[in-house]
Amino acid sequence: MNTYTLEALGPEDIPALVDLSAAIGWDYDAREIGTLEAVGRLFGHKTRDRHLVSSAAIVPYSHAFAFLGMVMVHPDHRQRGLGTMVTQAALAVQPPGHPVALVSTPSGQGLYQKIGFQQISTVHKYVRSSSKVHDDLTIRPPESPLGLKRMEEHDLPAITALDAAAFGVRRQEFLRHRWLQSATAWILTDGIYVRGYAFGIEGPANWILGPVVAPTDAAATQLVAKVAVMTSNPMRIDVPDEHAEWAIKTLPPLGFKKVAQPPLMTYQGALLPPRRGLYALAAQVFG
């Protein structure tokens, strides 16, 4: 019979986390987990011979709000309560009574409900698997007075302020790491102020398009179309339910297909901070 120790994880565990991700059919790579480790807290179970067989991560953007994810249990070690225990260890990081949110997989929803999570909304997952990118859709962007520019490091304070209004809390450290990790990043500007932004993150299986923050549907379309045309690789984007209608109209012409609508859940049904202009999550683990 296996015995397990539940431990806080660090940078030295990143290769084992990549292996655990592959074992359950997910595609986390070392750079994505490195960003997660830099801005969050990770926990996991190890066997007596030091093999990592579970994980959970929590990103406490502030004492007022955190996002939970990367809950994984190796297939050979399921049905032993490891998922519940490692999730509870991550939850303990956040002060009692403060919101914790997550995007659930279908298989994980029952576990989270037993722990105390309740569904409050959904996320619309779109994937572009085709290598054909429609350049003409970016050559003829929607009517907008805003211009596109590549994001530079000096734009990060303005990006942080925009993101705080869209996401509900400030997450400057995360955005700095995301910018360093990004394969492409763009801003929308009126010539004086930054009005929107989008990141493209290269992953082992898919690019991630997000976060995307914009003042209008037309501005969001400008940003998404620009990032989408930067690569012919497969790409995914996770759209909050508030912008589901925009996604239906905008994403299929860019080659995206809706593949899932996972639940957005919060611990004990807590309300999320007010959000406006968030057209795409950074990733399901980051919100």
* Arithmetic mean of pLDDT, 101-105: 94
Cα 270 to Cα 238: distance, rounded to the nearest angstrom: 21
Q: φ, ψ for residue 141 (rounded to 5)?
A: -70, 165
Residue that the structure tokens 């105390």 belong to? 116
260 bridge partner residues: 125
CATH class belonging to 4-98: alpha beta
**pLDDT > 50? residue 20:** yes
* Arithmetic mean of pLDDT, 47-57: 96
110 bridge partner residues: none
**pLDDT > 50? residue 280:** yes
Q: Which pLDDT belongs to residue 268? A: 80
With pLDDT > 70 as the criterion, what percentage of the chain qualifies? 94
197 bridge partner residues: 187, 213
Listed in order, strand segments (DSSP E) in 36-116 are 41-47, 54-62, 65-73, 100-103
> Which has the minimum average pLDDT: 47-61, 100-114, 151-165?
100-114
Q: Could you please state the CATH topology (level 3) that the domain comprising 125-280 is classified under.
A: Aminopeptidase (3.40.630)
Token reading at 270 = 């807590």
Q: Which residues contact 190 (CB under 8 A, 6 or more apart)?
A: 145, 146, 147
* Chain region(s) in the chain for CATH 3.40.630.90: 125-280
For residue 254, what is the DSSP state? G
* Chain region(s) in the chain for CATH 3.40.630.30: 4-98
